[in-house]
Amino acid sequence: MKFQAIKGVRDILPPDSALWNRVEQTAREIFGTFGFAEVRLPIFEQVELFARSIGEDTDVVSKEMYSFEDHDLLEFEQVRSALMMTSLAADDLLGFQAYERNVLTFVAKLSESFKRGEVPRTPENEKIIRRIPEIFEQMNRTRRTHIESQFSFYEEAFAGCLTGVKTALQSYRFGDRLGLRPEATASVVRAYIEHGMQTLPGNVKLYYMGPMFRRERPQKGRYRQFYQIGAEVLGTSDAPGIDAEVIEMLMTLFERLKLKGAILNINSIGDKNCRPAYVEKLRAELQKVREQLGADSQRRIETNPLRVLDSKLEHEQAIVAKLPRIGENLCDECRAHYAEVKRQLDLRGIQYQENWRLVRGLDYYMRTTFEITAPGLGSQNAVCGGGRYDGLVELLGGPAATKGIGFAIGTDRLILSLQEAGEGATQTGLDVYLAWFGAAAQTAAIGLAKRLRGAGFVVELPAVEMKFGKSLGLADRLKARHAVIIGDDELAAGVVTVKRLADGSQQKLGEPQLFEYLRAGF
């Protein structure tokens, strides 16, 4: 059997990995100068955390999450599957009675396990334990009353009972529902609350980097395991200067990485005072043009009308252009906040485009939202998304006054864009290929390799002896800058032969001269 990486995930190999390291290292440096510190987070959390923060109705949570039940009750799982697969005929009374016994024995075991706290003690689980015996009781009552007189009625009740029992068994949870994280803001906020970070002085400024998981349709710039570099500011202030500084930090990073053609789009999507009224207004207008919209947008009229503004469908563009705009429906506070964000960006000399259609796919955003696009990415051209999420800390059970703002860079896309623009990997480069011939030369070569590496040179030392031609051929193919050769002659004379592979020029040098020579060519 030949194994392959799973659809939508990929390996990042050298020399690309060098560019990844450079991007991540640069982010650490720049973010550090803005007073941000790294937080390392788990890659899985309770599904409930994501559902609550990102939103139950978002694609990310409802369709794209990788989730599983975390437990070690394998035996329970097996008994449940067996009970789930049992089929019974309505006239098979003995079979039915045996099934009832088996299910009730199983439920008794579940109940004990529930009491011992081995399975999650949720109200749902408790309800199921109570419900199953009730279904059987009801079933038996029906049987006693109807079995002779109305067989067809009995048949129906029988089927209903079986389905009821199986559904209940199926929804019993043996363990916590965990999910691979589709993004990290929820985890940052969870950690902030869990560790009581609101008591820390000033704003809490954190950054993270790592893989995220979404079961999307894979294409260029869209993967099922992708990477994000993100940062968050949490604290009691929602001053627009914070928004602007977070964006300044981002733009500084992109500039340092020489990302060309990045465009910053900004918008304000209001808050809980003004957005609900706008959403209703939008919904009402969308109802009027319902028939002209595609299936996705039609569905979103009910679930999330703001997302219709995000439509990329050609035929919907003219319709969207005529919809009411959030900018004209902001409350005074949101309008003032947005105006000040723009002034603060101007103070920092940051150019932006206002984009009234910019809404984000996650429920927790409010007021300032922004997105940065970059060239060379086709339709997946957003390299970074972010915004304010002032209510999120409270929503997840933290202190009500806490405000938040952050962003997430799509590292894969950032790197694709850099590569398209020719800002590819810097050659790591092998400085020295150390060819040795004979046992005594190997001893000398091991020592020399150690001293060269200690001085920072990249050295390749063959592990076994090779023929001269083969060894120097390998040095060529590895694109070494120099071959340093040690054989009997060199040992006798206390020198090495150094050959510059670009032009073949060679000379014999003592060790101090060798170091000098290599440093000069650095």
Q: Which residues of the shown chain bind ligand ATP in the complex (CB under 6 A)? A: 183, 214, 216, 221-223, 226, 228, 360-361, 380, 382-385, 408, 410, 412-413
In DSSP notation, 291-302 reads GGS-HHHHHHHH
Nearest alpha-carbon partner for 255 in 369, 349, 378, 343: 349
Cα 151 to Cα 148: distance, rounded to the nearest angstrom? 6
Identity of the residue, 155 or 216, whose beta carbon is nearer to ligand ATP in the bound complex: 216
Work out how close the CB of 178 gets to ligand ATP at its nearest, in angstroms, rounded to a whole number. 20
Nearest alpha-carbon partner for 53 in 435, 487, 389: 389
Identity of the residue, 142 or 411, whose beta carbon is nearer to ligand ATP in the bound complex: 411
Cα 367 to Cα 270: distance, rounded to the nearest angstrom? 5
Identity of the residue, 414 or 509, whose beta carbon is nearer to ligand ATP in the bound complex: 414
DSSP 3-state of 399 = coil
Helix (H) or strand (E) holding 517: helix 511-520
Work out how close the CB of 442 gets to ligand ATP at its nearest, in angstroms, rounded to a whole number. 48
Identity of the residue, 231 or 384, whose beta carbon is nearer to ligand ATP in the bound complex: 384
The tokens for 65 are 């999450």
Work out how close the CB of 348 gets to ligand ATP at its nearest, in angstroms, rounded to a whole number. 22
Cross-strand bridge partners of residue 409 = 229, 384
Cα 77 to Cα 170: distance, rounded to the nearest angstrom? 10
Cα 342 to Cα 436: distance, rounded to the nearest angstrom? 65
Work out how close the CB of 373 gets to ligand ATP at its nearest, in angstroms, rounded to a whole number. 9
Identity of the residue, 8 or 438, whose beta carbon is nearer to ligand ATP in the bound complex: 8
Identity of the residue, 207 or 436, whose beta carbon is nearer to ligand ATP in the bound complex: 207
The answer to whether 211 and 309 are in contact (CB under 8 A) is no
Work out how close the CB of 379 gets to ligand ATP at its nearest, in angstroms, rounded to a whole number. 9
Work out how close the CB of 191 gets to ligand ATP at its nearest, in angstroms, rounded to a whole number. 19
Cα 368 to Cα 306: distance, rounded to the nearest angstrom? 15
DSSP 3-state of 372 = strand
The answer to whether 208 and 180 are in contact (CB under 8 A) is no
Identity of the residue, 411 or 471, whose beta carbon is nearer to ligand ATP in the bound complex: 411
Cβ atoms within 10 Å, residue 39 = 19
Q: Which residue is nearest to ligand ATP (CB)?
A: 410
Hunting for tokens 């590819």 — which residue is that?
A: 424
Strands (E) across 26-154 are located at 37-38, 44-46, 67-70
Identity of the residue, 97 or 317, whose beta carbon is nearer to ligand ATP in the bound complex: 317
The answer to whether 395 and 189 are in contact (CB under 8 A) is no
Hunting for tokens 């008794």 — which residue is that?
A: 108
Work out how close the CB of 223 gets to ligand ATP at its nearest, in angstroms, rounded to a whole number. 4
Work out how close the CB of 430 gets to ligand ATP at its nearest, in angstroms, rounded to a whole number. 33
The answer to whether 246 and 387 are in contact (CB under 8 A) is no
Return the ∠ at Cα 383 (arms to 379 and 387), rounded to 5°.
115
Work out how close the CB of 251 gets to ligand ATP at its nearest, in angstroms, rounded to a whole number. 15
The answer to whether 362 and 293 are in contact (CB under 8 A) is no
Cα 386 to Cα 484: distance, rounded to the nearest angstrom? 52
Work out how close the CB of 386 gets to ligand ATP at its nearest, in angstroms, rounded to a whole number. 7
Identity of the residue, 395 or 491, whose beta carbon is nearer to ligand ATP in the bound complex: 395
